[in-house]
Structure 1
Amino acid sequence: MTRHLLLQSYMSRCISRFMTDNQGPARKQAYDAKWRKENKARTQEYFRDWYKANKERRSASERKRKYGLTAEQWAAVFDAQGGRCAICLRDTPGSKRGWNGDHCHTMGVFRGILCRQCNHGLGNFQDNIDNLRRATAYLERHIFA
């Protein structure tokens, strides 16, 4: 048996034992935390492998948590943008982690999908339109054609 199957089998037995003998979720949670602490390397290996095998599932879950968007809604927004960054129109995300969801940090509202550079750029300007206008004017004054 591989280590992953052993770990899954062990965890299944633990869940069954704790949930059926009326110890309840709190005790199981405490036991799991202790087990993970004592078996840190095994736990890390298991989750590292799981993350690699479930990249898209993880991304979809993170988008749902952060922006409230399902995978279908994300795809619809991206298609509406022409499969490109909403600002620079680049068709590559500029990062191994993929496209970035842009959102208002004050209101938490999702605005669109950006490449890494544009998303960081907006963040560096603190989503402040006046700062962006001054930066544009600065560049226009200092571009040597």
Structure 2
Amino acid sequence: MKQYRQSEKFKSTSRRYQYSKIGKIVAEKNRRNTVLKRGGITLEEYNQMFAKQNGCCAICGKHQSELKNRLAIDHNHETGEIRGLLCTSCNITLGWLEKIEKIDFVARVKTYRKI
């Protein structure tokens, strides 16, 4: 199976399918399902948020066209409330900062520095 997927025949067939009408319909359906499954919102709601933010990350302001990945749906993990769309860097940093707040990082650093 692996050899076949690496063959030029498979790659050309895959490209033709990807750019065909059916391939585009399937890709759109998969995108809708992914947004709903991962973010808990519909693709239409995602697109409304995207337009409201002018296609930019809610924190750093980088436009989608400058990014490698799509803007991620940011939500509060305790309440499930959707907060906005973030680039990967801001989303990871925000998650890290929220985790630090929970362990009272500043107090631990002060204790450590006294040692």
Give the TM-score taking structure 1 as reference length: 0.47
Q: Distance in 2 between matches of 1:55 and 1:127?
A: 35
Partner Cα distance (1:78, 1:130) in 2 = 30
When Rg is computed on C-alpha atoms for both structures, the one with the higher figure is: 1
| Mapped partners of 1:107, 1:59: distance in 2 | 25
Distance change (3 Å), C-alpha of 1:107 and 1:128: farther
After TM superposition, give the deviation of residue 58 of structure 1 in Å. 2.2
- How has the CA–CA distance of structure 1 residues 130 and 100 changed in structure 2, closer, same or farther, with 3 Å as cutoff? same
Do the aligned residues in 2 keep the contact of 1:67 with 1:109 (CA within 8 Å)?
A: no
Comparing 101-110 with 111-120, greater Cα deviation is found at 101-110
- Write out aligned runs for 1:1-145 (5 A): 41=1, 53=23, 54-92=26-64, 94-96=67-69, 98-126=70-98
CA distance in 1 between partners of 2:50 and 2:99 (Å): 21
Q: CA deviation at 1:129?
A: 6.4
- 1:102·1:113 contact (CA, 8 Å) conserved in 2? yes
What amino acid sits opposite 1:110 in the alignment? I
1:140 — aligned with what? none
Distance apart, 1:118 and its partner CA:
0.6
Take 1:110 and 1:57, find their aligned partners in 2: how far apart are those partners? 22
Give the C-alpha shift of residue 63 in structure 1: 1.2
* Partner SS state of residue 98, structure 2: coil
Could you tell me the TM-score, scaled by structure 2's length? 0.58
> Mind listing any 5+ residue stretches in structure 2 that lack a counterpart?
6-13, 107-115
Gaps (5+ residues) in structure 1? Answer: 1-40, 135-145
Shift of 1:112: 0.8
Cα separation, partners in 2 of 1:89 and 1:129, compared to 1, 3 Å: farther
* 1:65/1:90 CA distance change after superposition, 3 Å: same
**2 CA distance for matches of 1:108 and 1:119?**
15
Q: Distance in 2 between matches of 1:82 and 1:128?
A: 30
Structure 1 stretch displaced more, 54-63 or 74-83: 54-63
Q: Percent identity?
A: 27
